[in-house]
Amino acid sequence: MVKKIATYFMVTLMTLIFLLDILTVTLYNHYEKRYPVTPEPVVKTVGADRIHFLNTGNSDAILLESDGHFALIDAGDSSDNYRRKHGAVGYEQIVLDYVKKTAVNAEGKVVLDFILPTHYHYDHIGGFRWIINDPDITIKKAYLKPFNPGILNRMEARKWGLDIVYRETVDALEKRNIPIVSDLPDEPFSFGSFTLQFFNTVTDMSKPHAGENVSSVGVKVTKGSRTAFLAADISAEGGLENRIAPLVGKVDLLKIGHHGYTTASNPNFIRTLHPEIAIVTNQLGKIYPNVKWNLVMIAHASIYATVNHNGIIATFTDNGQIVLTDHIHDGSAKITVRD
């Protein structure tokens, strides 16, 4: 009897979740009409203000562009991922090719004002060694928080090799004499026409072994009245979302934390940031139902996935609009200078 009741309960629960998921999909398809996505044109202009969300599967690689300045926030997963070293899918070449094609200044040189690994999971820091080691790319400085083994959970400490990829990244930077800034700025600073601000620059150690995601650095991007927040792997773990939400405030665009997995985008966080546009570095079908529900039902957000759209660019126009384009990896773009 107990088994039958348990089975009935589980079937009912799963059916309810399925129906709610259909409802949220229907709603965010409706909300997408507010921000239609068009294919990225072959001819691009140097000098625009854009956030490039690359298609690197369920990993992060985000290129900032403003007035001919470029910066790389995370660099995608790498094929030598210690956690998935047997059959790991790496995106290092995709990121490298995109940066060398896109991050070209008015003099035709590939220059990054800074790089920022938001934290030290391979799916964020992994591809940086290829960027750093490429002699055609100039990197002015690297923002790296000190690696803190005390925040790692047991699995990360034993099997994920985060200390290895951190050390290899530092070694690569030192070999090319690239300045390392370990004391990240708290105050907003200018980056072309953007104003940037880092959040969680110092890891809260009040809950040790909460996991490396608690170390994630968030980045707020502002142009005029429009704002975006790049949430890295910021999630509810260690109370991080609730701690930074009131500091970040209302935004127009949210790069969903932790690839849309279940511990991210809690109701309070989404209620406070209340984005109209949500971009996930993952497949749309891999976003957890509770995350979709919070984004759609609380914020009425339109949701876009980098895998489904083969990369997405959010352009911040001079008249206060955000324009979305996709298929950013298609073809070979011609770069022209904006008037």
Q: What is d(CA 112, CA 96) in angstroms, rounded to the nearest whole number?
A: 12
Tell the burial category of 295 from Cβ atoms under 10 Å away from its Cβ (0-12, 13-18, 19+). Answer: buried
Rounded to the nearest 5°, which phi and psi values hold at 36? -65, 145
Rounded Cα distance, 298 and 48, in Å: 32
- Thinking of the domain 2-337, which architecture would CATH place it in? 4-Layer Sandwich (3.60)
**C-beta of residue 149 within 8 angstroms of C-beta of residue 209:** no
Using CB atoms within 10 A of its CB, is residue 280 exposed (0-12), middle (13-18) or buried (19+)? Answer: buried
Q: Identify whether the C-beta of residue 209 lies closer than 8 Å to the C-beta of residue 151.
A: yes
DSSP 221-243: EEETTEEEEE-TT--SGGGHHHH
Each residue's pLDDT expressed in tens, for the chain with a length of 339 residues: 655 665 655 555 455 555 555 656 565 555 666 777 878 775 566 679 999 999 999 999 999 999 999 999 999 999 888 776 656 679 999 999 999 999 998 888 999 999 999 999 999 999 999 999 999 999 999 999 999 999 999 999 888 899 999 999 999 999 999 999 999 999 999 999 999 999 999 999 988 999 999 999 999 999 999 999 999 999 998 899 999 999 999 999 999 999 999 999 999 999 999 999 999 999 999 999 999 999 999 999 999 999 999 999 999 999 999 999 999 998 644 333 333
Instruction: Write down the pTM of the prediction.
Output: 0.89
β-pairing, 253-255 with 277-280? parallel
Helix segments in the chain, DSSP class H: 2-31, 92-102, 122-125, 128-133, 154-159, 162-175, 240-248, 267-273, 289-293, 306-309
